């Protein structure tokens, strides 16, 4: 017999099922965090480009880019939380 019986359902689960579940959860969380990192990088790139074009608006651009980066990081953390809890 492969694996241990589950205490609640008394069914035997194969160890490979657990490993595959962990791998898919890790891949999903990595994709979410990678997307957030790409988003933050693009926001920073465009903010620097905007300040280079219009240095007088650097204060407004800084505030908007910080807010956008915080939202992108929040979505990345949300993706990490959802992928690890599912």
Burial of 10 (0-12, 13-18, 19+ CB in 10 A): exposed
How many helices and strands in the chain, by DSSP H and E?
2, 0
Answer whether residue 45 shows pLDDT above 60: yes
pLDDT digits (tens, 9 = 90+) for 2-30: 556 666 666 666 778 778 777 877 888 88
Domain ranges of the chain: 36-86
Q: Which residues contact 83 (CB under 8 A, 6 or more apart)?
A: 25, 26, 28, 29, 32
The mean per-residue pLDDT over the stretch 63-69 comes to: 96
Q: Evaluate if pTM is beyond 0.85.
A: no
Q: How far apart are CA 32 and CA 26, in angstroms?
A: 10
Q: What phi and psi, each to the nearest 5 degrees, are found at residue 14?
A: -75, 140
pLDDT of the residue at 17: 78
The mean per-residue pLDDT over the stretch 31-49 comes to: 94
């Amino acid at each position: 017999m492969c694996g241990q019986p589950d205490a609640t359902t008394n069914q035997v689960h194969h160890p490979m099922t657990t490993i595959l579940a962990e791998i898919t959860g890790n891949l999903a969380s990595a994709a979410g965090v990678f997307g957030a990192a790409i988003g933050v990088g693009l926001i920073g790139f465009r903010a620097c480009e905007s300040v280079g074009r219009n240095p007088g608006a650097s204060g407004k651009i800084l505030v908007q880019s910080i807010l956008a980066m915080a939202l992108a990081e929040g979505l990345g953390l949300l993706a990490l939380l959802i992928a690890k809890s599912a």
